[in-house]
Structures are given as C-alpha cells and as structure tokens.
C-alpha cells in the first residue's frame, strides 16, 4: 500500500526535423502524510542530442490546509543544437509551501535555486513563484 510506479515511452517522427524518443519512469511511496518520489527521463533527438534528467521529491502534508515540498532535480543535455554540440548541466533545489484555501482552490509559494554549467561557462538563477491552483 502506498507504492506507485509508472513507465512510459513516446516516439515522434516527422519529415522536417524531429525524430524524438522519450522514456519516463516514476516511482512514489506514500506512507500516510509523507510522499517520497523519484522520476527519470531520457530523450533521444535525431540520434544526435541526448537529454536525461532525474527528480527527487519529498512532500509532507502537515494538515488539511498546509503542505511542504522539497525537490531536487538534475538535467544533463549533450550535443544540443547540432553542429554546435553544446553540453549543458543544471541542478535545481526547490522549496514549496502549499496552502489549501478551499476544497477547490489552493495557493503555492515556491522558491527555486538553479546552478547551470556548460562548455566553459556557469551561471545561477533564483526564482520565486506564486501560483493559484483551481481544481474542479
């Protein structure tokens, strides 16, 4: 009980540029108010560029109206934009505060810090999001 796993595959081929394969795997475990998850993606684009990423997530629902999520993700891109052959890596850490205002409306306050690294360069970015989530 509480264990969930998913596996998906997609392929797109067109006459102009894109021949893309995508494999996605997800596993989560939810013992009560805690949710732990791991996700893996891999993309193969035109047999040249490759992209893979992972995401680790922990969420705890403290009450019916408040939850906290901590996420780490890593993305690795190789041979992007042929013939430039760009290689890019990023690491992101995210903290989200989730508030349920009503049964159908929630507010999400999220902060993310990302470190980027490429061929001979590096950078970082900080982002703050406020989202309204409506479900029906």
pLDDT at 82 over 60: no
Question: pLDDT confidence of 94, banded at 50, 70, 90?
Answer: very high
Please, how many CA atoms are within 13 Å of residue 61, restricted to the half-sphere of its CB? Answer: 11
- Whether the pTM exceeds 0.85: the reply is no
**Spatial distance between the Cα atoms of 26 and 36, rounded to a whole number of angstroms:** 11
pLDDT at 64 over 80: yes
Full DSSP string of 16-81 = SS-EEEEEEEEEEE--TTEEEEEEEEEEEETTTEEEEEEEEEEEEE-SSSEEEEEEEEEEEEEEES
Interval 10-43: pLDDT, tens: 988 877 667 788 899 999 999 999 999 999 999 8
**Spatial distance between the Cα atoms of 133 and 136, rounded to a whole number of angstroms:** 10
Structure tokens of 131? 């989202």
Provide CB contacts within 8 A for 113, sequence distance 6+.
92, 93, 124, 125, 126, 127
């Amino acid at each position: 009980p509480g264990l969930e796993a998913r596996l998906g595959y997609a392929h797109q081929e067109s006459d102009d540029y894109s021949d893309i394969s995508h494999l996605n795997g997800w596993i989560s475990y939810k013992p009560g108010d805690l949710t732990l998850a791991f996700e893996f993606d891999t993309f193969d684009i035109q047999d040249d560029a490759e992209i893979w990423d992972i995401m680790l997530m922990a969420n705890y629902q403290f009450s019916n109206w408040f939850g906290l999520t901590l996420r780490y993700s890593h993305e690795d891109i190789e041979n992007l934009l042929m013939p430039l052959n760009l290689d890019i890596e990023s690491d992101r850490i995210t903290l989200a505060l989730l508030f349920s205002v009503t049964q159908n409306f929630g507010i999400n306050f999220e902060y993310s810090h990302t470190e980027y690294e490429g061929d001979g360069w590096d950078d970082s970015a900080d982002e703050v999001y406020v989202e309204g989530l409506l479900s029906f």
